[in-house]
Amino acid sequence: MINKPFNCLLKMSCLSSFIFLTACVTNDQIGEHSRDLFQKYETKYVWKTILEDDVIAFGKPAKAIPNEPIDSIVVAGNKYSYLINKGGADFIQLISQLNPQYIRLHRELDFNSPSPTSTKFSGSFKFYYAPPNGTLSPTESALFKKYGVAPCDCSKVEQQGHLFDLEIAGTVYPKVENAADLKPLSHPYKVRIQYYENQSGYVKMSGQEKLAELPLLPLTLTIDVIQLPLKALGIIYQP
């Protein structure tokens, strides 16, 4: 038979061990929770510029390009060529049916890419159309509807007539082969391609570092410069 003093001592010892073990687990849990107090997973997306380029000419391919529509339009840049295979021909056809005196093309050609290593891009051609009375005729409204042109929902719209945009898509190609033979434009036009980068929780390689890895198709482009109707938009080539 265990005497009372020894029994009490045994109970106190067991209780002390339980408290000690419980305290160890609690300290680990407290450590995890304390780290959570000083760290957080941040969801962050930002627009990153992959490339910027100067436009040297607007044109069309001199010969058919494999897997591309025959009515594609080429925006020739100093660094690359931007072949518009969706919407470009519609844009040319549309403006050729409008009064050229009222049209002004937006000089910043901003496009989006799905990833920093993709050669695909999409965006829109933005242009102002300012008829003298400020309203579109039934014929003009029908043309805009036919080609899917919508009023531009922009935060900063110049109060100079209607601002519209026509959705386009295309592919980046190497610089045109006959760039040296093209006449320079009288006014500068800029191309910029961006993508929506996920910066949640860690830092990725920059778009500029990945730009050198763009998987461009091994094709050489030669373009015929489109003189009209782009001349009516102020896209004029120097003599």
55 vs 214: which has the higher pLDDT: 55
Q: Is residue 238 part of a domain?
A: no
Q: What share of the chain is helix, strand, coil (3-state, %, to 5)?
A: 30, 30, 40
210 DSSP β-pair partners: none
Tell me the pairing of strands 190-198 and 108-112: parallel
Q: Is residue 101 part of a domain?
A: yes
Based on the fold, state whether residues 22 and 113 are members of the same structural domain: no
209-221 pLDDT, tens digit each: 445 556 666 666 7
User: Two tokens at 220?
Assistant: 């050489």
The reported pLDDT for the residue numbered 179 is: 85
Tell me the pairing of strands 103-105 and 190-198: unpaired
CA distances for 233 relative to 19, 64, 112, angstroms? 83, 27, 24
Q: Is residue 149 part of a domain?
A: yes
Q: How far is Cα 125 from Cα 235, in angstroms, rounded to an integer? A: 14
18 vs 132: which has the higher pLDDT: 132
Q: Is residue 11 part of a domain?
A: yes
Q: Is residue 212 part of a domain?
A: yes
Based on the fold, state whether residues 75 and 12 are members of the same structural domain: no
Q: How far is Cα 62 from Cα 65, in angstroms, rounded to an integer? A: 9
* Highest mean pLDDT (candidates 25-34, 88-97, 157-166, 205-214): 88-97
Residue range of the domain that includes 73? 45-233
Based on the fold, state whether residues 9 and 100 are members of the same structural domain: no
